[in-house]
Structure 1
Amino acid sequence: MEVSRSTFEDDLPIILENIHESDYVAIDTEFTGLQTNDGNNPSLFDTPAERYTKLKQTVTHFTLCQFGLSTFTRIPKFNKYEVNTYNFYLFPIACSTIDVRFCCQASCLEFLCQHHLDFNKFMYEGIPYLNKDQESELRQQLHIQPSLITNDVDNKLLRMYSSIISEWVQNANENEELIVQGSEALQAFYSSLKIEAILRRQMRDIWTSTNDLGQIVVKKVSNIVRKELEKSEGFLEERILDKLLGFSKVIGTLIETKKPIIGHNMLLDLLFIYQQFYRELPDSYTEFKKELNLILPTVFDTKFIANELRKKLKDCPFFNDTCLEDLYFSLDSHDGRYIVLHSPTMEIVNNKHYVFLRMVHIFTMKQLQLREIQPQGFVAYLHTFKQFKNCINLSRATIHCLNLNGPDPRSVRPEWLYIELKDSNILACNTQLANVFGAYGSVDVKLLDKKHAILAVATHRGSKDILKAFHKHKSFRVVKYNVLKHSPRVRLVLWSGVAMTAVVCIWTIFSSQRQ
């Protein structure tokens, strides 16, 4: 189901109910950009903290345009899962001092075009949202000066309405109504509410509402009736703020219910969720992990899980390619569905997030004795998969994953290699070195100076091949990197220490001779 601004309020109750009743929720996002500059590209030299800093810059410059959410609810009697899938169009709304700026990256927009994103729905029908910081800012304004919330209205339209109503109300009887014809300007999100709020502030002897046709209905009321209506309905500014929260209510329910969240290669998804619906991303990577784990304590990344199952279940050929689409087709094949007994069924087809259910079922059944094999509940799946909980895939970095609930794992990447250019006429160049050594696998280069560089290699096989191929090369000297020998900074510190020690020794000897 597609959910847009015009349908969101009607669809929200059932969406929240589905989340509450579900066993787990799967998410997927689309955004307007990936990198702000070339310096933000992923690198094999990146530590988790360095990668977080790069991704934080991405998240603060771009915005989500779509959010996919699927709820999975087990029906034990039939060993079946009921699936409800929603595709939300999102767009940040400007209000008062909140005016979100975001960039677009041409390559990402081209990708979205190829996958048929409706940009009209994104711009005109995107559901608004606020994070906690933005909500707090608007609530403070609402408390101090409510008119700030309605300061960005169509003033020409407002003047016209005010003139019509002022003239009408002078001769109108109590409880008499006036219907103000709608306009295209009022079709914009919550514009009619803003106009109503200002009209109510300007004229104390009226009450306003909006009918099903989007027209403003003005009713002349006494002071007593006006006070009763205000007491029962509240102020329109509160309703405006409630509408502005929009999709944040969905994320708030996920946080409140603590449902397991499933995603694929989902680190960027999690950062976007934190930044746009919760709070501003902290500068500290450690603080981000701690806070994210508090609000979303159970997260599973199917990219990381597939990589691990490829090593653990060598008799299963379904995890050779960890791309989500390939995983889906492999696990949905005849062999994938019947490699173990009692695979749960699903009432919806073509939902790639069913990959998680298929993987956890295969892995769980492989752990059971023959006499124990029977349909499994979701709690049993969670117990079996607890070793993969909160481990988020980290592509092309010093480690393969980050742990949201504790210390990150140690690196299993190959040691760095140290490159020295022997030819005095050739200067070190990133592109040149990457082309030379990239023939042996995925590599990244970090220049130390004009003649020296460090090489990070993705695989141990690639590292061994490079050391063997360049053992006695005429142009390059390649050895394993040693920080004491090859780091200019460390060598400077060591030589500074040696020099300082020598000075102290000479001074001591000189002082003793003088005595």
Structure 2
Amino acid sequence: MMSSSLVVPVIDVQSNNFKELWPAIVLAFKTSSFIALDTELSGLGARKALLAESIEDRYKAICHAARTRSILSLGLACYKKLEGKADSTYLVQVYNLTLLCAEEYVIEPQSVQFLVQHGFDFNKQYAQGVPYDKGNDKGGEPQGVNMRTLFVELLRANKPLVLHNGLIDLIFLYQCFYAHLPEKLGTFTADLSQMFPAGIYDTKYATEYELRFTASYLEYTYKKCKLDNSRSIETAQDGPHVFLEFCNYTGRLQSYVDYRPCIDSHSSDGPLNICVQFSAYGWCPSGSRCPMSHDTDLIIRQDEKSKEDKRKKRKRRKKKKAAKEEEEEEEDGPPQDKKAHVEDMDEDGEEKEEQKEDEKVDGKFTAHDEEMPSSETPAAESHSDPDKNESDAPQTHDPTPDATNKSPKASERKVEGGTHRAGFDAFMTGYIFAFASIRNAEGPDSWIPACANKLYLSGKSVPLHIAKSTFSKSSRAHMTKMEQVWRKQFPKADGNA
């Protein structure tokens, strides 16, 4: 089978190169087809409040977390669809921004432990994190090279914004880089609809309601999409496929690149001792101490085998039932009041149990990254500037479904533990969106119409719609920011701040 392993170049952005990389990041925003984003957070507070039955109460709990905690790193993946290329070919540029909130904030031990296990460097954060202040603008913040201005550039780019289980990310982004959060959820969603007019897409919602995979946590969804894409190419199936190109960073830029491998497992298909908790939710309370396997590739293969076994079993049962009915018709059938044989009862009972199990799998509640013991979100990525001199100019590789950066340093550089960093998570989120779009799009550049402006809500059967209703008004702080973003006068809002 075709290998879909790849190495993703992620540019690390921090205070000592933020100004240098600024033009490249802004250019990446402007030239992209869509932008995927994720965050790593210092904590989320009480999980029970974050999953409150009332969505308004849930919003208030997340707002409290955003006001008292902070974003530690931001991941940005800019996907640019290339014209004149095979199928859906994207040039992907990924940035991982290490950030440092200038105000006091809460940091939870569980979050620290999780991030350290996955390679987050707190020494680098406090020494080289890009500083920012939360809430409304202060002084000269709307100008200059800083995080709040970068967020304004993101809004000005007016591209579709893609996240995975993105409600928490959006609330934190608003509070940290935009303005004080509105008190009401309706005001917040009204503001978001104007901030991102090209649409907000949640790949967890797309996975649950469009792709309908067995599980929907980020790494599972990404690897399943990549595997299905590779299989489709290998078997020459009709329809578009996703191909990727990465920049070949040279010169000074190469020193900023962290090559993140995504290596597929090719273990035997024998009995698998897979962790049930991790298989369903993408996290396990025992973490690295768990004796069971957390290999996502094995989990996917097991899910596929289980699904195929059930399909074959149902097919055999259906065939057997049809044969039995045909036999009964020939023999005039048994008396109407005759009880079924014990074997038949067992079979019917087994089928019912199997149906229950299928329903459980198809409709199960799957926790996502930020319902884990600590936040698991991507950091920001950077884009190379084609206007730089020739030695620093990025070159692209030939597109392949498993595009690998060919830099000579790729195999030499030490890779930090785990792939769960903001930049790489943003890349995975973007890939899921690209794959889901070619499977569900209705015409060119329509992306996934059924998923536009719908955010996944844990434990709810309906999403949160990002729209301005007739019963909600935009906040004053937002309208002030909109004038700054678009440099034109907006009608003054009567809503609360």
Name the TM-score, length of structure 1 as normaliser: 0.50
- Displacement of 1:400: 3.4
The answer to whether the 8 Å contact 2:49/2:57 transfers is no
Q: Within the alignment, does 1:126 sit opposite 2:129 as a pair?
A: yes
Q: For 2:208 and 2:47, how far apart are their aligned partners in 1?
A: 28
Q: For 2:194 and 2:23, how far apart are their aligned partners in 1?
A: 25
One of 26, 34, 40 as aligned partner of 2:36: 26
1:1-51 CA distances to partner (integer Å, 9 max, x unpaired)?
00000000000011101111111100010000011x4652414xx222121
Residue 100 of structure 2 corresponds to which residue in structure 1? 91
- Displacement of 1:253: 0.8
Residue 207 of structure 2 corresponds to which residue in structure 1? 306
- Displacement of 1:344: 3.0
Residue 114 of structure 2 corresponds to which residue in structure 1? 111
One of 48, 51, 58 as aligned partner of 2:58: 51
For 1:133, what is the secondary structure of its paired residue?
Answer: coil
1:193-218 CA distances to partner (integer Å, 9 max, x unpaired)?
xxxxxxxxxxxxxxxxxxxxxxxxxx
Q: For 1:129 and 1:278, how far apart are their aligned partners in 2?
A: 11
Computing the radius of gyration over CA atoms, which structure comes out larger, 1 or 2? 1
The answer to whether the 8 Å contact 2:90/2:243 transfers is yes
One of 223, 234, 243 as aligned partner of 1:329: 223
Distance 1:287 1:359, change over 3 A: same
Matched residue type, 1:106: P
The answer to whether the 8 Å contact 1:331/1:337 transfers is no
One of 78, 85, 88 as aligned partner of 1:78: 85
For 1:383, what is the secondary structure of its paired residue?
Answer: coil
1:223-248 CA distances to partner (integer Å, 9 max, x unpaired)?
xxxxxxxxxxxxxxxxx9855x6122
Q: For 2:60 and 2:233, how far apart are their aligned partners in 1?
A: 41
Q: For 2:131 and 2:146, how far apart are their aligned partners in 1?
A: 5
Distance 1:337 1:358, change over 3 A: farther
CA RMSD of superposed structures (Å): 2.3
Q: For 1:381 and 1:129, how far apart are their aligned partners in 2?
A: 38
Total equivalences in the alignment = 274
Distance 1:381 1:126, change over 3 A: farther
Q: Within the alignment, does 1:276 sit opposite 2:176 as a pair?
A: yes
Matched residue type, 2:218: L
Q: Within the alignment, does 1:402 sit opposite 2:411 as a pair?
A: no
One of 14, 25, 30 as aligned partner of 1:15: 25
Structure number with greater CO (CA < 8 Å, separation at least 6) is 2
One of 427, 434, 440 as aligned partner of 1:363: 440
One of 35, 56, 64 as aligned partner of 2:71: 64
Gaps of 5+ in 2: 1-10, 247-260, 263-426, 471-497
The answer to whether the 8 Å contact 2:13/2:96 transfers is yes
Q: Within the alignment, does 1:3 sit opposite 2:17 as a pair?
A: no
- Displacement of 1:77: 1.3
Distance 1:92 1:241, change over 3 A: farther
1:363-412 CA distances to partner (integer Å, 9 max, x unpaired)?
23xx6xxxxxxxxxxxx454252221110001124x5310012569xxxx
For 2:169, what is the secondary structure of its paired residue?
Answer: helix
Gaps of 5+ in 1: 94-99, 140-239, 312-318, 368-379, 409-515
Distance 1:280 1:336, change over 3 A: farther
Matched residue type, 1:276: C
Q: For 1:38 and 1:133, how far apart are their aligned partners in 2?
A: 27
- Displacement of 1:120: 1.2
1:47-69 CA distances to partner (integer Å, 9 max, x unpaired)?
22121111111111100000000
Distance 1:11 1:400, change over 3 A: same
